[in-house]
Structure 1
Amino acid sequence: MVMSEVRLVHGIPAFEDGIQFGVIHVDARPGVPLTVRLGVAADDERRYTLEVGDSFAVRAENWKVDRVENPGSDDWCVVLKKTD
């Protein structure tokens, strides 16, 4: 299994294999599930609202939200992993 990792920080998009990833919002409020609003641009642009462990498809690749480091702070980092 190939494991490619993309790290996304506030305001800075990342590029991997011709795909652009960007975080729109991280919701880390107490009492609600941690969610990530993600924008993905490849052949078209899509937006996803995902929790840690959720997966999504881009072209023929599957990606998942692996973790969010420092949630609830301005220094958060969303880590995506390619799973196929």
Structure 2
Amino acid sequence: MTTEIWLRRGIPHRDDNASFGVIHVDARPDHPLTVRLGVNDIEERRYTLEPGDTFPVRDETWTLDRVEDPSGDWQVVIRKADEQAD
């Protein structure tokens, strides 16, 4: 089973190991799609990521899997990097 977390505008997600929140999605034409992500596990960190980029959460590696409807009412999907998307 794939561990995926869907993040929506203004709604942080908390699980057993960390909390995640999207700070900003940049989906301007002619620019790479980027997500500014906040992660708080033991300490708070911020990452600017493109789809496929990875980031650490405690002893795990997570990836920014995709952004659904990036120019509209977006949803950001992150997942553990060692697990394949369905």
Match of 1:79 in 2: 77
Match of 1:24 in 2: 23
| Aligned mates of 1:83, 1:15 — CA distance in 2 | 18
Q: Summarize the alignment of residues 6-45 of structure 1 with structure 2, pairs less than 5 Å apart.
A: 6-45=5-44
Superposed counterparts of 1:55-74, under 5 Å? 55-73=54-72
Summarize deviations over 1:20-79 as a string: whole Å, max 9, x none.
000000000000000000000010000000000000011101100000000111x10000
Instruction: Tell me the SS of whatever aligns to 1:39.
Output: strand
Q: Percent identity?
A: 60
Report how many aligned residue pairs link the two structures. 82
Higher percent of residues as strand: 1
Which residue identity is paired with 2:74? W
TM-score (norm 1): 0.93
Cα distance in 1 between the residues matched to 2:51 and 2:31 = 13
TM-score by length of structure 2 reads 0.91
Gaps of 5+ in 2: none
| Displacement after TM superposition at 1:18 (Å) | 2.8
The CA RMSD over aligned residues, in Å, is 1.0
56-65 vs 10-19, greater mean Cα deviation: 10-19
Structure 1: which 4+ aligned runs deviate by more than 4 Å?
A: none
**Cα distance in structure 2, aligned partners of 1:61 and 1:7:** 18
